[in-house]
Amino acid sequence: MNPKNQKPEPLACDPMSLIAIKDTLQLLSGKWKIQIAGLLFRSGRMRFMDLQRAIDGIGVKMLSRELQELEENKIVSRTVMDTKPVTVEYELTAHGRTLEGVIVAISDWGVTHRNHLFKQPSV
């Protein structure tokens, strides 16, 4: 009945913190969400096109989609401005701003350990 290969029961020790990590990662999944949040954290409100210009390599589709998901999860708020032509501004919600610790930790680690990254490149 048991297949030959390993299919272990999870250990009783599945610590809360592992589940918490999983939750957070799921919320911030994808290539761009943390970058978007980090940018909004530093820059405050930003418009759609400015976000695209600031985030190297992102296309409109992914930006649109990631913003939608962040909005659904109350990380980012979306405000349609009464301008001609309409512009839309995005910013972190109060809840989104609680990600400060995560954003700063990730950013700081990247800065500090740049030399060590990716098998210690010749940079």
Footprint of a copy of itself (CB under 8 A): 5-6, 8-11, 13-27, 31, 34-35, 38-39, 42, 49-50, 52-56, 60, 72-74, 95, 98-99, 101-114, 116-120
Contact 81, 91 (CB under 8 A): no
| Least spacing, CB of residue 27 vs a copy of itself, in Å | 6
**Which residues of this protein are in contact with DNA, per CB under 7 A?**
3-7, 29-32, 47-50, 57-62, 64-65, 67-68, 78, 84-88
DSSP 123: -
Residue 56 binds what, of DNA, a copy of itself, none (CB under 5 to 8 Å, by partner type)?
a copy of itself
| Least spacing, CB of residue 109 vs DNA, in Å | 20
Closest CB to DNA among residues 5, 17: 5
User: Helices 100-112 & 33-43, crossing angle to 10 degrees?
Assistant: 100
For the stretch 21-54, what's the b/e string if a residue is b when 16 or more beta carbons lie within 10 angstroms of its beta carbon? eeeeeeebeeebbbbbbbbbbeeeebebeebbee
Closest CB to DNA among residues 24, 29: 29
DSSP 115: G
